[in-house]
Amino acid sequence: MAHINEDYITTYIRELTPKSSPLLQELEAYAEENHVPIVQPEVGQLLRTLLRIHKPAAVLEVGTAIGYSAILMGECLESGWTITSLERNQEIIPIALENIKRAGYEKSIKVIPGDALETFPHLSGSYDFIFLDAAKGHYMEFFDYASALLKPGGMIVSDNVLYKGMVAEDSLVMRRKRTIVNRLRDYLERINNLEGYISSVIPIGDGVAITCKEANY
């Protein structure tokens, strides 16, 4: 169950959420069995909604894992779209590529191996929509790179920003997680007070931040 809402709220929201495609349902089962982190159902539905509204053509994802969220986003996009996804775990990339191929998106989704902090500087072009779902302690650095690549009017979505509720409440913070929590707090403080951007933190899943770049910025 989710970490930051009452279980009955999360259960109700998930009961309202339409079922995923058969392939995504299969990947959900695989992720649960193998303890692979993927977006929670209510976060996936939020992504679907944002993509339908925003209609991006070029998407950047930080954190491919098994390809679940990339495939989910691909299912919501219109013709001519591309997704570039960054993944540092070399062992999981073949699994992601196979899943992407099964979805029929091998020509539209490109997975770039390596640590995002090392691969980000080599990216060119610009993006309409960027999804951050990798090392939470590096969101500030990811955002610096991502915002430079984001088109005016574009959107950055950051997952897990409330981190099991610890970001919002000191009494929940585990000692070994203190650094990550502090960095996430700094991150949320920054994106909510950054000139040229407007952000909102949504308390679903493990916390989602939506940041929009002003059209004239």
* Mean pLDDT, contiguous 10-residue spans, the chain (217 residues): 82 95 98 96 98 97 98 95 98 98 98 97 94 97 97 98 96 94 98 98 97 91
For the chain, give every domain's residue range: 7-213
Q: What angle is formed at CA 112 by the lines to CA 106 and CA 117, rounded to 5 degrees?
A: 155
pLDDT for residue 49: 98
Contact 116, 86 (CB under 8 A): yes
| Prediction pTM value | 0.96
Exposed e or buried b for every residue in 33-52, given b needs 16+ CB within 10 A?
A: eeebebbbbbbbbbbbebbe
Here the tokens at position 89 are: 């775990």
Q: Which residues contact 180 (CB under 8 A, 6 or more apart)?
A: 136, 137, 163
Nearest CA to 185 out of 213, 210, 165 is that of: 165
CATH class for the region spanning 7-213: alpha beta
Report how far residue 176's alpha carbon sits from residue 55's, in angstroms, rounded to the nearest whole number: 40
Report how far residue 182's alpha carbon sits from residue 172's, in angstroms, rounded to the nearest whole number: 13
pLDDT for residue 2: 56
Report how far residue 9's alpha carbon sits from residue 191's, in angstroms, rounded to the nearest whole number: 27
The position carrying tokens 């910025």 is 217
**How far does the chain reach from its first CA to its final CA, in angstroms?**
39
pLDDT for residue 125: 87
